[in-house]
Amino acid sequence: MAALTPSPDTESETPPAGALSRCEQERAVMRDRLADPTLIDRALEIRLGNDDSCETCLAVPLDGKRVAGEVTVQGWTQALLVLLALDGQPGFPDLRDGTSYGEAIDAPRTIRWGLGATLGDQKLRARMWGYHDAGVRAYQAEQNRADPRIPVTPMPEDSDDSPAVAGIYDMLIGGSDSYLADRKFVWSLAEADAEALSVAAVINRLHRPSVISHLTARGIGQFLDLGCGLMPFPSPPPDDAEPYTTLHDIVARHQSTARIVYADHNALAFGASRITVEEHPLQPQWVQGDIRHMHQFLTSGRVQYVLDWSRPIGVLLHDVLPWIGSDETVTEAMDVLREQLPPGSALSVTHATDFGGNPMSRFTAPFRAAGIDFKPRDADFIESLFGSWALETPGLVAPHRWRTTHPQAEFDPHEAGALAGLAFKPEQRP
């Protein structure tokens, strides 16, 4: 018999093959999503053929908040077996073939029971299936995993009338994609302060080529840029001394098959940047999400879809965490990130700090007055972001002192207004 092939709207996608059987995997997914997981104990496993090697499917009955259910199988023969198996069984009222008339006899067919869900409303459908809040979100993310336009976490409210970090940063490194509100904020600063911020931003951005060179030399073949911000259009030629050279262009110097994923909560950054990335040979991907919801972000269908979680991932968090004002939120997000990353993964962080004669905390008040959280942190806190992972040589230093190849390596350390570090997740011991 043909294998079970769920449609995009089926109640639960079939998880990847593993040690568990298909139905055991389906049971695990459904038990995790149902508000009443005891329904799984009453679920029926249906054989979709007569031989020992035939596929099976799992049908979960209705009760409580679960008022609708469905399974999708391949072809009319398997659909008939499901209808016959469920006919008259408790918990499967109004049993019917929900497939449109005129479909080919071997086309996927969906058998439904209970109330009819609005097919276009994923959230309503998952609610009718009795999923709890997290289960609804997991289902929605799974169904939208191929669509970069769908946010994978709750998103902060953005205002066209207020400055945004991505636009301010763009202006500081000499870009042309900022908005009037962003430019007004920079113009409101004292000239010396605006210049100090610009120098620090450029130093931070020019730190990336050294990091990528080190990661690729260590075998990292996929990169996740969290809080990527704006990218130029058109992209300038790759240049180690050009702060607007894109991550995918830097990676492409070292690898021709690397996987690049950009992430940001700023929808404007996505709209402007996707034009830059869509024609690139590496075919970079994009995720909209807020890393303050790190667990939901990393476990979303799209993030799981665009990265290979069986291989190490190089994560960049360059000048991102200072824009999250809560120490507790930052600590929790980083704990989750380190836990979720595969062994051998790398974490590269740059973070604003009060460094010598260039205390970045003097910018906290003007940023907050503009509605933007900005919190420089000390070296001990920044080092704690790596947990127990050992920092690569030279440890936690100013970004332009991490490698002598930095174009501004001769600048005084305090001009960076930041510290940088890189660490690898230890490989699992046998």
Q: Residue-wise pLDDT tens for the chain (430 aa)?
A: 223 233 345 675 544 434 456 677 788 889 989 999 999 999 999 998 887 778 889 999 999 999 999 999 988 899 999 999 999 999 999 999 877 666 778 888 999 999 986 666 888 989 999 999 888 877 877 777 777 778 888 888 766 678 999 999 999 998 888 889 999 999 999 999 999 999 999 999 999 999 999 999 999 999 999 999 988 665 666 676 788 888 999 999 999 999 999 999 987 777 666 666 777 899 899 999 999 999 999 988 889 889 999 999 999 999 999 999 999 999 999 999 999 999 999 999 999 999 888 999 999 999 999 999 999 999 999 999 999 999 999 999 999 999 999 999 999 999 999 999 999 999 876 5
Provide the CA 404 distance to its chain's centre, in angstroms.
Answer: 32
Whole-angstrom distance, CA of residue 309 vs CA of residue 115: 37
> What is the rounded radius of gyration, in angstroms, for the C-alpha atoms of the chain?
25
Whole-angstrom distance, CA of residue 51 vs CA of residue 240: 62
Cβ neighbourhood burial of 181 (10 Å; 0-12, 13-18, 19+): middle
Dihedral pair phi/psi, residue 96, rounded to 5°: -160, 160
Whole-angstrom distance, CA of residue 73 vs CA of residue 288: 33
Provide the CA 154 distance to its chain's centre, in angstroms.
Answer: 12
Instruction: Name the residue type at position 189.
Output: L
Q: Please tell me the total number of residues recorded for the chain in this structure.
A: 430
The residue assigned the tokens 């075919």 is 283
DSSP labels for 190-246?
Answer: -HHHHHHHHHHHHHHHTTHHHHHHHHHHTT--EEEEET-----SSPPPP-TT-TT--
Peptide bond into 394 cis (omega under 30): yes
Provide the CA 90 distance to its chain's centre, in angstroms.
Answer: 41
Bridge partners (DSSP) listed for residue 318? 350
CB 11 within 8 A of CB 129: yes
Task: State both tokens at 407.
Answer: 């174009």
Question: Considering only CA atoms, which of 61, 3, 60 is closest in space to residue 30?
Answer: 60
Beta strands in 55-130 (DSSP E): 56-59, 68-74, 96-97, 108-114
pLDDT of residue 187: 96
Helix axes 191-205, 180-188, angle to 10 degrees: 120
Q: Where are the alpha helices (DSSP H) in 224-360?
A: 247-252, 267-277, 294-299, 301-306, 327-340
Whole-angstrom distance, CA of residue 32 vs CA of residue 296: 15
Provide CB contacts within 8 A for 328, sequence distance 6+.
Answer: none
pLDDT of residue 244: 81
Whole-angstrom distance, CA of residue 267 vs CA of residue 248: 20
H-helix or E-strand spanning residue 46? strand 44-47
Question: Considering only CA atoms, which of 6, 60, 2 is closest in space to residue 28?
Answer: 60
Whole-angstrom distance, CA of residue 84 vs CA of residue 74: 16
Whole-angstrom distance, CA of residue 45 vs CA of residue 216: 47
pLDDT of residue 20: 55
- Within 13 A of 52's CA, how many CA atoms are on the CB side? 0
pLDDT of residue 428: 76
pLDDT of residue 155: 87
Question: Considering only CA atoms, which of 321, 325, 318, 327 is closest in space to residue 371?
Answer: 325
pLDDT of residue 418: 98
Task: State both tokens at 393.
Answer: 């040589």
Question: Considering only CA atoms, which of 15, 106, 119, 8 is closest in space to residue 58?
Answer: 15
